Every structure is written in C-alpha cells, then in structure tokens.
Amino acid sequence: MDMLTFYPFSSNGCNNIQAISINKFSHGNQSWIYDQKVFPQKFTNFHQCPLKVSTYEYQPNVIIEKYRNGTTVIRGFDVEVIRGISRILNFDLKIDILTEPVAWGLIYENGTATGLMKKTMKGDTDIGFGYYYLTLVRAKFMSYAVYTNADIILVIPRGRLMTPLEKLFCPFNTILWTILAIMFGLGIVIISLLKFNPRKFHKYIFGTSDSPHLNMINILLNGGQNFLPPKDSARFILLAFVFFSLIVRTLYQAGIFKFLQTDQRMPAMQTIDEVLDNGFKIYMYESFQEFTKGLKIHNR
C-alpha cells in the first residue's frame, strides 16, 4: 500500500498536482518502510514559482503612481504586506491592477460576485488584496486572512434633556433611594401596628397627634411639630429622627444644587446596543452596509 501526496510548488515544477508516492507499507513487518512525515510541509517554500495577485487602487493601502516615462509604481501598506509574504515564502510576485468601476467587487447571497471577488472565486488570480474586511457573506464563499482591525465610529446626538421628575431623583443614586424607601416603609408599617395598641400606649409614643404617618413626612420635609410626646424616651426617638431628616435634606439640597449647575442631560449613548434599543435611524455608506450584514445594526 502506497502513501500518496503531491507537491504543487517544488524545485521540479510549479502548480504540479500529480500524485507521487512518499511511503510504502510493509505487510510483512506491519510498518511503513520509510521514516517519512505523514503530512510534509508543502507551503513553506514556493521555490520562486509565480503567483498572480490582483488588487485595485485604494489609498493609502494601495497607491498607484504613473510616471511620464511609462513606468508604474505600486506601493502602500497592503502592498508591503504581500511583498513581505513573498520574500518569506519565496514566490515570484506578479501584480495585476484592476481599473474597472467597483474593482473591489461584491459577493451576493446566491454566490455570484463581481470585480476582484469574482476573479478570485473563478481562479483567475491566486490572491486578491486591497483593504478588505471580513463579512458574513464573504466568509461563506471565500477563505480570508485578516491582519488589521478598524473601529466603528457612530455620530450620535447629545443626550436628551431630563424631565422635571428625573431632575428630582438625580441627587441620590438608585441604591440610596431604595434604602430610604425601605426605611420609611418600615416606619409606616411600625406606626400602623402601634395604632392597634391601647390608646394610652399610643399617646406615650406619638403624643396627642392623630396622624403620625403625616407627621413623619412633615418632619422629613422640615415641617414644625405641634404635638410632642410626653415621655423623654419617645422624645429622644423623635429627636433622632429629626436629626436624620436634617442630614438627608442637607445632602439632597447639596446634591440638587450641584446638579442644577450641570448640563442637565441624560448620559450619551455608549454602545451600538443602546442606539438600537432607543430606536434611532442609522445612516451609513453603501459600501459599509456589506460589512454589517449579519449584525444587529444591519436590521435597523
């Protein structure tokens, strides 16, 4: 039994796909005759075989300069990358420049293509380059090597103006408002339970006030006290709550004073998801729409 492979690029020829035997299996010894690698390295040296690469002008990645003497010089970031690869892999670089409209080409969902994309898919060129980015459709029909990244920059409006109700709640964060709500909720529950106790006990805690719930809110809003509890222990509890309300009001007033000196707008959106969740219309270049296919932003 023979082990077969082929060497498309070797010192004996280029683009050769004829199968050759690299090892034999001995049934008598139940082993391979030669100490040969099962998967030999075939693409570390192209032995100066010519490879046709196609591109188009896309500055600054691909810059084409034509001089009066008829010579053409091609340079740019992508050009230096492909020339560096040719030196490492030892192949002869043959550059073909496309000048047709929309030379970079498009690939459609049905597999049809135009421009350089079509040329590459049909095998008319070995490599196509020119600041291409990976898309869902391109990955479906072509093999890609991505060696650079680019940011997506969105131009968005400023954050909207706050409503009067939002301004009232801004000095404290959500956690602090939650703690205050729990505390006053417990206060209302305790007052409601104490109302079911004997009148004497109720008078000992709240004095002659018939509306302790409203009295608690009145103290919080810096209102006066017309009825004081008769006992010192109850008055101490009242005094502690007055001081607590004073601290809360002071912090709130300081926070609202500082806040009113700002722009009073909601924070600007920071992510694409926020833009989509807020229902904004998105405008982009037609060429960029190809890049967004398969992403949530394309559906908008």
What pLDDT, in 10s, does the model give residues 123-147?
Answer: 899 998 888 877 778 888 887 777 7
Same domain, 80 and 133: yes
Confidence of residue 172 (pLDDT cuts 50, 70, 90): confident
Q: Is residue 283 part of a domain?
A: no
Q: Which pLDDT belongs to residue 300?
A: 62
Same domain, 116 and 54: yes
Q: Is residue 158 part of a domain?
A: no
Q: Is residue 200 part of a domain?
A: yes
Q: Is residue 147 part of a domain?
A: no
Same domain, 216 and 177: yes
Same domain, 28 and 58: no
CATH number at residue 118: 3.40.190.10
What pLDDT, in 10s, does the model give residues 218-270?
Answer: 777 777 776 677 777 777 777 888 888 888 888 888 888 877 777 677 777 77
Same domain, 242 and 200: yes
Contact at 8 Å (CB) between 286 and 295?
A: no
What is the number of domains present in the chain? 3
Q: Is residue 297 part of a domain?
A: no
Is pTM, for the whole model, over 0.85?
A: no
Q: Is residue 86 part of a domain?
A: yes
Q: Is residue 109 part of a domain?
A: yes
Same domain, 137 and 184: no
What is the rounded average pLDDT for all residues in the chain? 81
Bridge partners (DSSP) of residue 294 are none
Same domain, 130 and 193: no
The domain in which residue 83 lies consists of 50-141
Same domain, 168 and 131: no
Mean per-residue pLDDT, 204-218: 70
CA separation for the pair 3, 24 (Å, rounded): 6
Contact at 8 Å (CB) between 150 and 135?
A: no
Same domain, 93 and 6: no
| DSSP one-letter code for 26 | E
Same domain, 184 and 234: yes
CB-CB neighbours of 295 under 10 Å: 13
Mean per-residue pLDDT, 22-44: 80
Q: Is residue 284 part of a domain?
A: no
Say what percent of the chain tops pLDDT 90: 15
CA separation for the pair 48, 12 (Å, rounded): 11
Confidence of residue 48 (pLDDT cuts 50, 70, 90): very high
